[in-house]
Structure formats: C-alpha cells, structure tokens
Chains A and B, each alone.
Chain A
Amino acid sequence: MINPSIQNDFPIFSTKINGKPLIYFDNSATSQRPQVMIDKLVEYYEKFNASIHRGIHSLSEKATEEYEHSRTKVARFINANEDKEIIYTRNATESINLVAYSWGMNYLKKGDVVLISDLEHHSNIVPWQILEKKIGVKIECIPLDKDFGLDLEEYKRLLQLKPKLVAVIHASNVTGTVNPIKEITSLAHAAGARVLVDAAQSTPHMKIDIQDYDCDFLGFSAHKMCGPTGMGVLYGKKKLLEEMPPFLTGGGMIKSVSCEKTTWNNLPDKFEAGTPNIAGAIAFGATIDYLEDIGMDNIEKHERDLVSYALNKLSHIKGLEVFGQDNSHETRGGMISFTMGYAHPHDISQILNEEGIAVRSGHHCAQPLHTKFGKASTTRASFYFYNKKEEVDVMIEALEKVRKIFS
C-alpha cells in the first residue's frame, strides 16, 4: 500500500496548472522528483563539491566515496553480481549506443543478424541501423502476437537465423506489454546470441533481477524513476565489459598514457571518460533509497490497480480505443495509449491540459509500432506510484468534455 499523501514528498505537486492541481500522467516520458533527491543534489554542490578519483583532499575523498557508494546501491537494486558491472551513462539511449559502438562495432561483422522487435523505442532501433550502414549487419524484427506481446513462436523461428544479438525492450512505453525477459534470454543464449535489454520503462516500476534474467546488457535512465536527468546506467556482464574497448576516450579512463601508447583503466572507469555526472550519480543513490523504502513490489501493485481501474473507466467512453493490453494480463504496465476517432491526439492533450492534466500525444518514439496500428499518433496517460484513482476520475471527466466538443 502506498501512503495516500505521498505526493507531499514531491515539491512540484504544489504547482497549479491553469489554476487546477497538477495531475501528472506523463511518467513514461519522465517522472517527477522527490525532495530527498533534490536535497542530495544540492548537498553535493554545497557541502562536498569536488572532482572524484583525483585529489587527495577531504572533499574529493568524500565525493568519490558517495559516487561509488551510489554504484553499490544501483548494483544491489538490480541484483547485479558486482559493482564494476555498473557503468554510469547519461541515459538508456547512451547505454544502448555504448553497446552498439563498443561491442557491436568490434564483435559484429557483415551479414550478422541483430534481432529486435516491433515494440522497440527508437533508441533500440536507430543504433542498430547505424551498424547496418557501417558494417552491414542485418536487422530482423520479432513481430507482435494479437495481444501486443512478442510472438514467441516467431521468435524461436527467427533464432534459427543464428542472430549474434537479441536487443529487446523489457516493458513497452506504449502498450503496457512486459516481455518475458528470462525466457527470451535463455532461448537466445541457447541459439548463441547475446542479449541486450532496454529496461528504461521497467526499472522504474518493478523489481529487476539481473542474476535471474541472465541477460548480457541492460540499460535504463534515472530520470524516469524519480532520479536526476542526465544520469543513466548500463549493466554489462563483467567478462564482456572487460573484453570490450572503451566507448568514449580521454581522461579518467586510462591507466597510463605515453605519446606512443595508452593502457585502459579497469572497470568501470574504462567506460567513464571525463568528469562524469557526479551530482547526478550521488543523487541517484538517494533516489534508490527512496524507492526501496516504498518497495518495488508495492509500486508495481499500486500501478497495476490504477491501470486496471483506468482501463475499466475508459471502456465506457464512446469512441475511445485503447492500443495495448487489456486487464487480463497480470503484468500489464501502467500506461494507456488511446485514440478518440473524432478528436486528434493533440486536441485531446490540449483540453486535458486545461484541467491541469499532463499527458503525451504523438508516436512516443515508437513510429514503427504506430505504423502497425495504422495511427500516426496516440494520446498516452502513463502512471507512477504517486498517482491516484481520484486523478483518473478527473481525466475521465475531461475526456467526456473532449467527446462533447468534438463529436
């Protein structure tokens, strides 16, 4: 059970939008931030601002300790084996790019198959298209079944092509689908493929268990889970990360440099060139404490209840069509993408905004998926643990208003 007054933890909820209380349903784009995270950012800048891994002075020691302590928290949060398997990046997109450039460019060759899926966000499509252009890998797509899940029979058939990499989204940012990553991974490994998981939409909402999934790479962003912007994580299996060349190069990621030769630093520093997002990493540690206090199981259950409540209510609005899984799915994620034939998604968002409700309209960076729907865009309401049924009721009323204006 989530504390009903949990919005008090977030200073933004005292903001009024068009004179109305803010109802924030754009959490799949980015979440809101609790005071504890903001305080930690400020604390670093005010109390122990210094570079890390460098100076033998008290401030630097304190900053380094907090920075690395956050890494330990992240590793524990997703149940990784070791801290050094956690690489700080800017976001999930950069995490995937790191793998594409450092692993893909060096371990893939012309004709190798990279298997992605029809559910992917552009961040897990475009980097592989770059490799298609640069080195001639071949991209294949796992299609969806009738229920917005990956068609696992078709997946097994595609594995006969002996792909070198399976790169799939864990939880969709559009349909609410949560893919069975453990099963996908074990099938891929049996076929000799590595597995990369885009966990940007799952890590904020459910317990992630790397050791259980056994995937090779997994990326996510802090800003979708109450953390700071510009902060992301790549998990990679130690053996793979050790073999991979660096992605970005410069200071901090080297052991020694002479004019002729450079030796790379150990993990994780090898992949963190230049002065990193120190404040962000430290504040992300505080964010993880906050989420663990609430409990990821609690968060998942709350959102499941909320999405089920919202789906039921939405089904009574005439002409409203949901693109995503229905309530029969145990794992369904907390976002609902829909259209109302008589009103364009932009106009729906605009009218909801008049009532203080923030939703998103567009293709949500999943254009191939929208093409499959035959829609250029949808409106998406996406929930987090601080959202409430009363807020869903306000949205339902506003959508009735949309219907009255446009139909």
Chain B
Amino acid sequence: MDLYRQHILEHYKSPKNFGSIKSSSKSSHGENPSCGDSITMDVTFKNGTIDDIKFRGEGCAVSIASASMLTEKVKGMEMTQIANLGLSDLQEILGIEITPARQKCALLPLTVLKKIILTELSSK
C-alpha cells in the first residue's frame, strides 16, 4: 500500500501551513464535487515570489498531504516557476506514485494555487 506511506499520513493528520492569512492576501478555492474534497488557499507575494501561503479545507489523505507538502515547497519560489509545475513535479514532491484514480485528489491544491498565480501574473 504505497500510497499511505508514513510521511503522507503525517502530513494528513497534522498538515503544515494549515489555516488562513488575514492581511492583504490573494485567495482562491477549488473542489472535487464528486468526492467532496474542498480547498481554499491564501497567498501573499514579495518581489514576484511567494512570501506566505496557508490552506484550509477538507479532503482525503492524498489531497491534504499534497496541499501540505506543496505549500512547504513553494514558499520563496518564483511565480513563473510555480505556473509551470505539473503532475510529475507533484509526484516528486509527494514521493509516491499517483494512480490515475487519485490524480484529481493530488492535483487539487496545485490547481487552486495556479489559479491565484495566474490571476496575479495577468494583473501585472
């Protein structure tokens, strides 16, 4: 059962960067209605990079662990770099093989984050 490695379960049970940012952050929300995963993300920027990032919501182990590890990874990263992240990068970040049935779960946090980034980039 490769999906439920210890680190995935740890991120699921105690996710990093869980919560919200009150001041002047950009937010977005996404969900997978058929399974009930739902994630909201707040981001603040500094000089074209991510200064702070927090998420909240509910979902399966894969989507929550993905949000937790992604938010850790992207702090300080340039927006343009994030805009180019894809499934294979996510696979690397999570350190597990993501089966086709679970791609939607794993991708949800990245999709939400990209929405914020693209809006931010296009407003420049």
Residues of A within 8 A of B (CB): 343-347, 350-351, 354, 361-363, 367, 375-377, 405-406
Q: Which of A343, A347, A377, A405 is within 8 Å of B36, CB to CB?
A: A377
Q: Which of B1-60 contact A (CB under 8 A)?
A: 1, 3-4, 9, 13, 33-38, 58-60
The smallest C-beta distance from B34 to any residue of chain A, in angstroms, reads 5
Q: Which of A350, A362, A377, A406 is within 8 Å of B3, CB to CB?
A: A350
B9 touches A377 (CB 8 A): no
Tell me the nearest residue of chain A to B36, going by C-beta: A376
Enumerate chain A residues within 8 angstroms of B62, measured Cβ to Cβ: 346-347
Enumerate chain B residues within 8 angstroms of A367, measured Cβ to Cβ: 33
B36 touches A375 (CB 8 A): yes
Tell me the nearest residue of chain A to B59, going by C-beta: A344
A351 touches B36 (CB 8 A): no
B60 touches A363 (CB 8 A): no
Indicate whether A350 sits within 8 Å of B102 (C-beta atoms), given known contacts A376-B35, A405-B9.
Answer: yes
Interface-centre pick from B4, B36, B38, B59 (highest chain A CB count, 10 A): B36
Instruction: Give the complex CA separation of A361 and B60 in angstroms.
Output: 11
A354 touches B1 (CB 8 A): yes
Asked whether any CB of chain A lies closer than 8 Å to the CB of B105, the reply is yes
Q: Which of B1, B13, B34 is within 8 Å of A351, CB to CB?
A: B1
Enumerate chain A residues within 8 angstroms of B35, measured Cβ to Cβ: 345-346, 361-362, 376-377
Q: Which of B55-83 contact A (CB under 8 A)?
A: 58-62
A344 touches B61 (CB 8 A): yes
Q: How many interface residues does chain B have, given as a range?
A: 10 to 19
Instruction: Give the complex CA separation of A350 and B99 in angstroms.
Output: 11
Residues of B within 8 A of A (CB): 1, 3-4, 9, 13, 33-38, 58-62, 102, 105
B60 touches A344 (CB 8 A): yes
Which label, helix, strand, loop or mixed, suits the secondary structure of the B interface?
A: mixed
Tell me the nearest residue of chain B to A401, going by C-beta: B1
Instruction: Give the complex CA separation of A367 and B3 in angstroms.
Output: 28
The smallest C-beta distance from A398 to any residue of chain B, in angstroms, reads 11
Across the A-B interface, give the 3 residue pairs with the lowest CB-CB distance, nearest first: A376-B36, A344-B60, A346-B60
Indicate whether A363 sits within 8 Å of B1 (C-beta atoms), given known contacts A346-B62, A346-B105.
Answer: no
Enumerate chain A residues within 8 angstroms of B59, measured Cβ to Cβ: 344
Enumerate chain B residues within 8 angstroms of A363, measured Cβ to Cβ: 33-34, 36
Instruction: Give the complex CA separation of A354 and B1 in angstroms.
Output: 7
Indicate whether A351 sits within 8 Å of B60 (C-beta atoms), given known contacts A345-B36, A346-B35, A406-B9.
Answer: no
Instruction: Give the complex CA separation of A345 and B35 in angstroms.
Output: 8
A376 touches B1 (CB 8 A): no
Enumerate chain A residues within 8 angstroms of B13, measured Cβ to Cβ: 406
Tell me the nearest residue of chain B to A350, going by C-beta: B3
The smallest C-beta distance from A82 to any residue of chain B, in angstroms, reads 41
Query: Can you name 11 A-B pairs with beta carbons within 8 Å?
Result: A346-B61, A346-B62, A350-B102, A351-B1, A362-B34, A363-B33, A363-B36, A375-B36, A377-B36, A405-B4, A406-B13
Instruction: Give the complex CA separation of A347 and B101 in angstroms.
Output: 11
Enumerate chain A residues within 8 angstroms of B34, measured Cβ to Cβ: 362-363, 377
A347 touches B60 (CB 8 A): yes
The smallest C-beta distance from B63 to any residue of chain A, in angstroms, reads 8
The smallest C-beta distance from A367 to any residue of chain B, in angstroms, reads 8
Enumerate chain A residues within 8 angstroms of B4, measured Cβ to Cβ: 347, 351, 405
Enumerate chain A residues within 8 angstroms of B61, measured Cβ to Cβ: 343-344, 346-347, 406
Enumerate chain A residues within 8 angstroms of B60, measured Cβ to Cβ: 344-347
Known: A346-B105, A362-B36, A405-B4. 4 other contacts (CB 8 A): A345-B35, A346-B37, A376-B38, A376-B58
Instruction: Give the complex CA separation of A127 and B33 in angstroms.
Output: 20
Enumerate chain B residues within 8 angstroms of A344, measured Cβ to Cβ: 36, 58-61
Instruction: Give the complex CA separation of A377 and B58 in angstroms.
Output: 11
Instruction: Give the complex CA separation of A367 and B59 in angstroms.
Output: 17
Instruction: Give the complex CA separation of A375 and B61 in angstroms.
Output: 17
Instruction: Give the complex CA separation of A346 and B104 in angstroms.
Output: 11
Enumerate chain A residues within 8 angstroms of B3, measured Cβ to Cβ: 350
Enumerate chain B residues within 8 angstroms of A354, measured Cβ to Cβ: 1
Tell me the nearest residue of chain B to A348, going by C-beta: B60
Instruction: Give the complex CA separation of A347 and B105 in angstroms.
Output: 11
